[in-house]
């Protein structure tokens, strides 16, 4: 297991540099680096593809609108609409950036346990409130999701069939309202249960991570690469 | 009696925020070695009683005395909670860590017990509830019975002097129910069980009280 702090720092650095960069060489190398990490982490490729599909659904919307609305000389036109070279270039950039960042995050972050990441964030001096928020969101999204399915099933069991009617919207509004109430009530009970076990605002970590030699090696290697990307983007030697 | 009570409620009154009266001048004692059952219909205040004892809610009038000391402030109750374990009705409320080991370790770590000692405690308590080897299991993938047993283990890990159990067998099958009953009989000395299943109480407790007219009334087994 790699030290989660290294992973968090590298993900952050890589994402920031890649999000701001615009030179094709830098984006290309970033993408290659991300793919390299995915193979290094031996991720389940099928799962990677499913997740990328979700990201690229959003990106697809950009491909629908951006090429037509970006100012610049027309590449070709039809029905009075013009597609610009700059528009296409922007789309390609965004696609590469988002995919590379998501791939790198998957390779680095999803291979840690949540407790590991939370713990790492804490040691990187991220405010406790944010860390707790992150942890509990993660832990309870699943529970709220199950709660949602329970209610949906209960609705179906009583013959609910969604259609385009005020009644359907109303039913969904009730469903969401109930979910909010239940989550709020549950959070109160969980807090009570924690207080009953002696919780006083500090999380004591059970399995502590260790910073080992290979973490140093990973941090130096990946850190240098990110610096190199930044240099290729903004450096004065061209 | 002679020995002073572990838990004592003196003339306690409590109403829900909507004004509905739950207890009025209620008195209750629990002594070391007592195994007490409380029955009563839904909404009669069984859970409320347990929450009053550990100070999750405060009475409108009267006194909550635990381990011989009257408890009023949040700080008073903080000490109580370290020595009195409360099992919540829904294990989904009690378990919140990704893995079983982390959850069982949560209480002992709050008690500032050193980590290598906590490792031993986690192993021992999981064995005690018959879940040896469950350390790295993911809590939300466990079955209902297993979740309940893990919840119980999280309490045992803090070596409480008294256990308060809110419907410990609700929603469990016969097998899991028997397991819980056996663990209570064999491993715990002093406890209160709240339930509306008479049979469970008859098997696990020596005295049974009934919630009636905002008070507790002793019923014979």
Region of residue B22 (left: phi > 0; alpha: psi -120 to 50; beta: else):
alpha
DSSP-assigned states of every residue in chain A: ---HHHHHHHHHHHHHHHHH---HHHHHHHHHHHHHHHHHTT--HHHHHHHHHHHHHHHHHHHHHHHHHS-S-EEEEETTEEEEHHHHHHHHHHHHHHHHHHHHHHHHHTTS-HHHHHHHHHHTT--HHHHHHHHHHHHHHHHHHHHHHHHHHHHHHTT----SSHHHHHHHHHHHHHHHHHHHHHHHHHHHHHHHTT--S-PPPSS-----HHHHHHHHHHHHHHHHHHHHHH-S--
Specify the pLDDT at position A1. 67
Average pLDDT over residues A186-203: 87
Average pLDDT over residues B120-135: 94
Residue A187 lies in a domain: yes
pLDDT for A21 beyond 60: yes
In which domain, by residue range, is B214 found? 7-219
Residues A231 and A156 in one domain: no
Percent of chain A with pLDDT over 70: 98
User: Do residues A62 and A91 lie in contact, with contact meaning Cβ atoms separated by under 8 Å?
Assistant: yes
- CB distance from A184 to chain B under 8 Å? no
Residue A49 lies in a domain: yes
| Distance separating alpha carbons of residues B191 and B180, to the nearest angstrom | 13
- CB distance from A204 to chain B under 8 Å? yes
Q: Contacts of residue A115 in chain B, CB cutoff 8 Å?
A: 97-99, 102
Average pLDDT over residues B161-180: 92
Q: What are the angstrom distances between the C-alpha of B115 and each of A113, A206, B111?
A: 19, 7, 11
User: 3-class DSSP state for residue B52?
Assistant: helix
Residue A169 lies in a domain: yes
Number of A/B CB contacts below 8 angstroms equals 72
Residues A98 and A70 in one domain: yes
Specify the pLDDT at position B2. 46
Specify the pLDDT at position A83. 81
* Distance between A34 CA and the closest CA of chain B, angstroms: 28
Rounded (10°) angle between helices A128-157 and A166-196? 130
Closest to B154 (Cα-Cα) out of B128, B181, B192, B136: B128
- CB distance from B46 to chain A under 8 Å? no
Percent of chain A with pLDDT over 90: 20
Average pLDDT over residues B45-65: 92
Residue B1 lies in a domain: no
The number of beta carbons lying within 10 Å of the beta carbon of residue B16 is 12
Least confident of A33-42, A115-124, A202-211, B205-214: A202-211
* Distance between A184 CA and the closest CA of chain B, angstroms: 12
User: Could you tell me which residue, A93 or A150, shows the higher pLDDT?
Assistant: A93
What pTM was computed for the model? 0.74
* Distance between B127 CA and the closest CA of chain A, angstroms: 19
Residues A159 and A197 in one domain: yes
Phi, psi of A165 (to 5 degrees): -145, 160
Q: Round the average pLDDT of chain A to a whole number and report it.
A: 85
Residues A98 and A141 in one domain: no
pLDDT for A107 beyond 50: yes
Residues A178 and A216 in one domain: no
Average pLDDT over residues B139-166: 92
pLDDT for A29 beyond 60: yes
The minimal CB distance from B109 to the residues A143, A195, A206 is found for A206
The model's confidence at residue B1, banded by pLDDT at 50, 70 and 90, is very low
Residues A168 and A196 in one domain: yes
Average pLDDT over residues B128-140: 90
User: Could you tell me which residue, A166 or B126, shows the higher pLDDT?
Assistant: B126
pLDDT for A179 beyond 70: yes
Residue A224 lies in a domain: yes
- CB distance from B58 to chain A under 8 Å? no
Residue A170 lies in a domain: yes
Q: What pLDDT digit, counting tens, does each position of A7-18 carry?
A: 999 999 999 999
User: Do residues A229 and A24 lie in contact, with contact meaning Cβ atoms separated by under 8 Å?
Assistant: no
pLDDT for B178 beyond 60: yes
What's the order of all strands across the beta sheet hosting B21-30? Answer: B21-30, B7-15, B61-66, B69-71
Specify the pLDDT at position A99. 94
The model's confidence at residue A124, banded by pLDDT at 50, 70 and 90, is confident
- CB distance from A129 to chain B under 8 Å? no
Q: Which two tokens stand for residue A236?
A: 């004065």
User: Could you tell me which residue, A208 or A4, shows the higher pLDDT?
Assistant: A4
Average pLDDT over residues B6-32: 92
Specify the pLDDT at position A97. 93
Residues A41 and A139 in one domain: no
- Burial track A17-42 (b if 16+ CB lie within 10 A, e otherwise): bbeebeeeebbebbbebbbebbeebe
Task: Give the CA angle between residues B2, B8, B9 to the nearest 5°.
Answer: 140
Residue A121 lies in a domain: no
Residue A190 lies in a domain: yes
Specify the pLDDT at position B42. 83
Sequence-separated (6 or more) residues with CB below 8 Å from residue B97: A115, A139, B103, B106, B139
**Where do we find the tokens 């021992």?**
B124
Q: Contacts of residue B96 in chain A, CB cutoff 8 Å?
A: 136, 139-140, 190, 193-194
Residue B14 lies in a domain: yes
Q: Round the average pLDDT of chain B to a whole number and report it.
A: 90
Q: What is the CATH number of the domain that holds B164?
A: 3.40.50.300
In which domain, by residue range, is A16 found? 1-112+208-238
pLDDT for B220 beyond 80: no
DSSP-assigned states of every residue in B55-121: TSS--SEEEEEETTEEE-SHHHHHHHHHHEEEE-S-HHHH--SSBHHHHHHHHHHHTT--HHHHHHH
CA nearest A196 in B: which residue? B81
pLDDT for A154 beyond 80: no
Residue B2 lies in a domain: no
The minimal CB distance from B81 to the residues A142, A196, A205 is found for A196
Question: Are the beta carbons of A189 and B97 separated by less than 8 Å?
Answer: no
Specify the pLDDT at position A236. 65
- CB distance from A113 to chain B under 8 Å? yes
* Distance between B45 CA and the closest CA of chain A, angstroms: 16
The model's confidence at residue B125, banded by pLDDT at 50, 70 and 90, is very high
Residue B89 lies in a domain: yes
Q: How many domains does chain B contain in total?
A: 1
Residues A58 and A71 in one domain: yes
Specify the pLDDT at position A111. 84
Q: What are the angstrom distances between the C-alpha of A168 and each of A145, A161, B185?
A: 20, 8, 52
Question: Are the beta carbons of B102 and A200 separated by less than 8 Å?
Answer: no
| Distance separating alpha carbons of residues A21 and A15, to the nearest angstrom | 10
The model's confidence at residue A237, banded by pLDDT at 50, 70 and 90, is low
- CB distance from A133 to chain B under 8 Å? no
| Distance separating alpha carbons of residues B74 and B76, to the nearest angstrom | 5
Residues A177 and A227 in one domain: no
The model's confidence at residue B4, banded by pLDDT at 50, 70 and 90, is confident
Specify the pLDDT at position A65. 82
Average pLDDT over residues A213-221: 86
Q: Considering only residues 99 to 118 of chain B, which have any Cβ-Cβ distance to chain A shorter than 8 Å?
A: 99, 101-102, 105-107, 109-112, 115, 118
The model's confidence at residue A95, banded by pLDDT at 50, 70 and 90, is very high
- CB distance from B4 to chain A under 8 Å? no
Residues A70 and A182 in one domain: no
| Distance separating alpha carbons of residues B152 and B146, to the nearest angstrom | 10
Q: Which two tokens stand for residue A165?
A: 């009617």
* Distance between B131 CA and the closest CA of chain A, angstroms: 19
Least confident of A32-36, A50-54, A110-114: A110-114
Specify the pLDDT at position B120. 95
pLDDT for A197 beyond 80: yes
User: Do residues B209 and B36 lie in contact, with contact meaning Cβ atoms separated by under 8 Å?
Assistant: yes
Residues A5 and A68 in one domain: yes
Residue A117 lies in a domain: no
Q: How many domains does chain A contain in total?
A: 2
């Amino acid at each position: 297991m790699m030290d989660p702090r290294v992973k968090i720092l590298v993900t952050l650095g890589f994402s920031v540099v890649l999000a701001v960069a615009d030179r094709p060489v830098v984006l290309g190398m970033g993408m290659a680096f991300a793919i390299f990490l995915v193979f290094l982490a031996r991720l389940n490729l099928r799962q990677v593809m499913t997740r990328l599909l979700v990201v690229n659904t959003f990106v697809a919307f950009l491909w629908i609108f951006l090429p037509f609305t970006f100012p610049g000389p027309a590449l070709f036109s039809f029905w009075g609409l013009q597609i610009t070279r700059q528009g296409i270039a922007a789309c390609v950039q965004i696609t590469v950036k988002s995919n590379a960042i998501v791939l790198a995050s998957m390779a680095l972050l999803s291979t840690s346990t949540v407790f590991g990441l939370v713990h790492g964030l804490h040691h990187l001096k991220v405010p406790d409130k944010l860390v707790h928020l992150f942890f509990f969101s993660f832990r309870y999204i699943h529970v709220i999701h199950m709660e949602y399915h329970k209610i949906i099933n209960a609705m179906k069991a009583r013959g609910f069939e969604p259609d385009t009617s005020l009644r359907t919207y109303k039913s969904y509004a009730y469903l969401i309202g109930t979910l909010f109430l239940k989550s709020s009530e549950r959070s109160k009970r969980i807090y009570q249960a924690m207080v009953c076990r002696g919780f006083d605002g500090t999380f004591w970590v059970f399995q502590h991570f260790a910073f080992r030699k290979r973490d140093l090696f990973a941090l130096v290697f990946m850190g240098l690469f990110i610096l190199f990307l930044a240099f290729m983007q903004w450096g004065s030697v061209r | 009696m002679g020995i002073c009570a572990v838990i004592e409620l003196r003339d306690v009154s409590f109403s829900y925020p909507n004004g509905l009266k739950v207890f009025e001048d209620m008195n209750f004692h629990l002594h070391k070695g007592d195994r007490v059952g409380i029955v009563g219909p839904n909404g009669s205040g069984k859970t409320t009683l347990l929450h009053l004892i550990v100070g999750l809610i405060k009475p409108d009038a009267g006194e909550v005395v635990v381990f011989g000391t009257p408890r009023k402030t949040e700080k008073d109750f903080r000490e109580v909670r370290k020595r009195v374990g409360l099992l919540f009705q829904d294990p989904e409320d009690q378990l919140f860590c990704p893995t079983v080991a982390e959850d069982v370790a949560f209480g002992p770590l709050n008690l500032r017990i050193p980590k290598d000692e906590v490792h031993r405690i986690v192993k021992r308590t999981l064995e005690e509830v018959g879940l040896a080897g469950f350390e790295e299991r993911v809590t939300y993938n466990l079955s209902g019975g297993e979740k309940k047993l893990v919840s119980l283990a999280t309490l045992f890990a803090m070596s409480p002097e008294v256990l308060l159990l809110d419907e410990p067998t609700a929603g469990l099958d016969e097998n899991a129910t028997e397991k819980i009953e056996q663990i209570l009989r064999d491993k715990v000395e002093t406890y209160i069980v709240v339930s509306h299943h008479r049979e469970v109480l008859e098997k696990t407790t020596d005295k049974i009280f009934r919630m009636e007219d905002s008070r507790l009334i002793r019923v014979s087994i």
